[in-house]
Amino acid sequence: MIMKVHRGYHGKLKAVIFDWAGTTIDYGSCAPATVFLDLFHRRGLELTVDQVRAPMGLPKKDHIRAILQMEVVISAWQERYGNVPNETDVEVLYQDYLPLQISSIQNFTDLIPGTTDAVSSCRAAGLKIGSTTGYTMEMMQILAKEARHQGFEPDCIVVPSQVPAGRPHPFMCWQAAMQLQVYPPASIVKVGDTVADIQEGLNAGMWTIGVTKTGNEIGLRESEIAQLPEAELRERLDRAYQRLAQAGAHLLIDGVADLKFGFAEIDDRLSHGEHP
């Protein structure tokens, strides 16, 4: 006789894995968007903010590759250079991108309001704190140093070069879990502001919380958001919520300041036998 054994996890959350730009640092995720616009401008292509933001959250070389696969970009590139963009173009653009991002990233190192309080709440609840990113380690060394001075220091930082593939693959989340020495995946929540973040967490078998107001989906600095008419802000927020919900996020919040409510809900869902 074959017996089915169910070993579902019914405990509380043990760890949280944060994204960086747009989630914990750089309100609006402006650093990468600004550089990608400049990168293609230098090549004679005037892209829109929406175009460069669409693949946000991916490793930066994959981000460039995704932009070059857009039909409108293929057409513009072919018109200017006489060929469809290829892997050589991806590599050349990536090498051009690296120093531009490293040079500008220091202008986008302010923590998003609520981050230090959220971290304190995590620590008080006994949660370990990891992080994943689409940035390189050299970029993260700059950001991590500035974040530490402001009170944010996760227990680990995982970048795409440390694993077989970055987002939307699950490997950075799994690597973070190993470094934190936390399992099962159902005891971990991934928090991020992009579709790629949500896909990464889901593929890793973790809970996911999507960040809307402070992140890439709206893509505005805090001062710019403050100037929006209420109706326009609500419309933008609704679009952001819809996009991350469609990506499969278990919960949606405006920013990390609201995390404690999300954690409480996930703990409750776990106690009732629900799993990511």
Segment 213-270, tens digit of pLDDT? 999 999 999 999 999 999 999 999 999 999 999 999 999 999 999 998 889 999 999 9
Rg of the chain over Cα atoms, rounded to whole angstroms, equals 19
Low-confidence winner among 3-7, 61-65, 66-70, 177-181 (lowest mean pLDDT)? 3-7
Please give the CATH superfamily to which domain 15-30+110-271 belongs: HAD superfamily/HAD-like (3.40.50.1000)
Model-wide pTM > 0.85: yes
Q: Per-residue pLDDT averaged across 12-32, rounded?
A: 97
**Catalytic site residue 155?**
no
Please give the full DSSP string across 162-204, using - where no structure is assigned: GSS--TTSSHHHHHHHHHHT---GGGEEEEESSHHHHHHHHHT
**CATH of region 32-107, choose from 1.10.150.240, 3.30.470.20, 1.20.1580.10, 1.10.10.10:** 1.10.150.240
- Distance separating alpha carbons of residues 244 and 86, to the nearest angstrom: 30
Give CB contacts under 8 A, 24+ apart, made by 124-128: 125/13, 125/263, 126/14, 127/13, 127/14, 127/15, 127/16, 127/263, 128/14, 128/15, 128/16, 128/155, 128/180, 128/182
Helices (H) and strands (E) in the chain, counts: 12, 5
Delimit the domains of the chain by residue range: 15-30+110-271, 32-107
Q: Choose, from 19, 26, 62, 193, the residue flagged as catalytic.
A: 19
- pLDDT surpasses 70 at 12: yes
Q: Choose, from 14, 26, 60, 62, the residue flagged as catalytic.
A: 60
Residue position matching structure tokens 């799993």:
275
What is the pLDDT confidence band of residue 5, given thresholds at 50, 70 and 90? low
- pLDDT surpasses 90 at 6: no
Q: At what angle do helices 171-180 and 195-203 cross, to 10 degrees?
A: 60
Residue 42: DSSP 8-state? T
Beta bridge partners of 251: 209
**Catalytic site residue 61?**
no
- The H or E element spanning position 35 is helix 30-41
What is the pLDDT confidence band of residue 182, given thresholds at 50, 70 and 90? very high
Beta bridge partners of 128: 15
